Amino acid sequence: NKIRNITRETLISKVYLTVDIAYGSDVNLARKLMQEAATENPHVISDGSVKRPYTRLEAFEDSNLLIKMGFYVDEYGSQWAICGQIRQGIIAKFAANGISIDYQQIVIHDAKNPETREGAAKTADDSE
């Protein structure tokens, strides 16, 4: 029995990338734009020799929707830099199409303070 390093036979690597979008966003459009951003990158393999870039709605999170994309790149050692390039493309495409990359939001209400039950707490600027 021999041990064989199968990663040395090819530079191709599979990569996953996730993006959070706001609830209410057009999920199908977001998925399409993510696939476009990947396909436009010259290091992403989209010629059919391996599975083309694909996306799926991965999860319903507390504050957003998580979309996961899988794709293959032609340079194993550069996969993270390539992901960074694709993320920049996604940001530009989302901005041009009104899709918000969301972040976790937590609202805290103080049950003992009646002011916070009726809305957001006043800031220092509001109290003057």
Model confidence over 31-48: pLDDT tens digits? 999 999 999 999 999 999
Stretch 6-17: mean pLDDT, rounded? Answer: 83
Neighbours of 37 (CB within 10 A): 24
Residue 30 has pLDDT above 90, yes or no: yes
Give residue-wise pLDDT tens across range 59-116.
999 889 999 999 999 998 899 999 999 999 999 999 999 999 988 777 777 777 766 5
For residue 124, tell me if it sits in a domain: no
Q: How many domains, in total, are found in the chain?
A: 1
Task: Give the pLDDT of residue 83.
Answer: 98
Q: How far apart are CA 100 and CA 58, in angstroms?
A: 17
For residue 65, tell me if it sits in a domain: yes
Q: What's 21's domain CATH number?
A: 3.30.70.100
Residue 118 has pLDDT above 70, yes or no: no
For residue 94, tell me if it sits in a domain: yes
For residue 3, tell me if it sits in a domain: no
Give every CB contact of residue 83 below 8 A, 6+ residues apart in sequence: 15, 17
Token pair, residue 13, equals: 């690597």
Tell me which residue range forms the domain holding 27. 11-117
Which pLDDT band, with edges at 50, 70 and 90, does 7 fall under? low
Task: Give the pLDDT of residue 19.
Answer: 97
For residue 127, tell me if it sits in a domain: no
